Amino acid sequence: MTGEESLRPQSLMLTFLGDQVLGRDVCVYSGSVIDVFARAGIGEQATRSTLSRMVGRDLLRRQREGRRMYFGLTERSEAVLRDGEQRIWQTGAVNRHWDGTWTLLGFSLPESWQRRRHDLRSRLAWSGFGPLFNGLWIAPGEVDVSALVAELGLSAHVKVFRAHADTGTDIGRMIEETWELSDLAGRYEGFVGRWQHWEDDLPDPADALVLRLRLQTEWLQIVRRDPRLPVGHLPDDWPAEQAEKTFRTVHERLSPLAHEASARLLDLVPARPQA
């Protein structure tokens, strides 16, 4: 499955909102969203369903203007989008400034709690942790998991520590044994393979907005899966730096055309204060 095929409408929608609505205090007309998503190959019914589901999940709010329905951000979606913005533009894909600190998380759950154990492991993996041993997970840097653990109702069953590896520990080997490096490297290499030609090519202006939506959505999905392991302990040919260069170069090339397209296609209105 390619990166493009795996992009869900909600992921594209969040990217679209982060691009066009975040920080502008505006709402966007549903018809504009349908038009843009049609250009991305997503049908009207799927787009409308995505908008409705996101309203139900408190990721969007509705605002009626005459006969037209507009959609704006909620506090929840603003927080999600700010986090994504930070991950792409500030945190980045390459961890060059690791101070040697690790976050260790130990847990012991009753055998009957299989579902909660699965949920905890999934959330830990999403937060950059890998399984050092069965009930002991590790992540580079200082990772605050207090909210995650509390949300799962597992605070009494989890212990968190900060640590440094003892002298003589083979950190590179530990990383290889704990994280699926080949899978992550494959994601970066696949991204470069799909997008590098746009460093030199220019699309039809009508396609630039959708291409940039796909570019950003795919890139965010990759970097969110990356635990940001210290680059000094990764293989010499680690592909994250090249992939990030490709992302930034292509984003810069597409942006002028994408801005022109959005100005032409989008109907925006000022967001009214919510009741």
- Using one digit for the tens of pLDDT, what is the confidence trace for 72-81? 999 999 999 9
| Average pLDDT for 23-38 | 97
C-alpha span between 221 and 194 (Å, rounded) = 15
| Strand stretches in the chain, DSSP E | 26-29, 61-65, 68-72, 101-107, 130-133, 136-140, 158-164, 268-270
Query: Please, what is the average pLDDT of the chain?
Result: 94
56 pLDDT band, cuts 50/70/90, is very high
The pLDDT of residue 244 is above 60: yes
- The answer, yes or no, to whether residue 1 has pLDDT greater than 90, is no
Q: Is the pLDDT of residue 5 over 50?
A: no
In sequence order, the 6+-apart residues with CB closer than 8 A to the CB of 144 are none
Is residue 109 within 8 A of residue 157, CB to CB? The reply is yes
Q: Cα torsion at 26, 49, 225, 220 (round to 10°)?
A: -40
Determine if residue 92 is left, alpha or beta; phi over 0 gives left, psi from -120 to 50 gives alpha, anything else beta: left
Q: Do you know the residue count of the chain?
A: 275
φ, ψ (nearest 5 deg) of residue 137: -115, 155
Question: Angle at which helices 30-39 and 9-20 pack, to 10 degrees?
Answer: 120
The SS3 of residue 50 is helix
Tell me if 236 sits within 8 A of 186, measured CB to CB: no
Per-residue model confidence (pLDDT) at position 275: 64
pLDDT range class, residue 58, cuts 50, 70, 90 = very high
Q: Tell whether the model's pLDDT for residue 273 goes beyond 90.
A: no
Residue 97: helix, strand or coil by DSSP?
Answer: coil
pLDDT at 3 over 70: no
Contacts of 102 (CB under 8 A, 6+ apart): 138, 139, 140, 141, 162, 163, 164, 165
Sheet containing strand 268-270, edge to edge, reads 61-65, 68-72, 26-29, 268-270
**What pLDDT does residue 206 have?**
82
Q: What span, in angstroms and rounded, lies between the C-alpha atoms of 102 and 189?
A: 27
> Using alpha carbons only, what angle is made at residue 143 by residues 156 and 227, rounded to the nearest 5 degrees?
120
Per DSSP, the three-state class of 106 is: strand
> Would you state the pLDDT for residue 6?
60
- The residues with which 68 forms a beta bridge, in sequence order, are 65
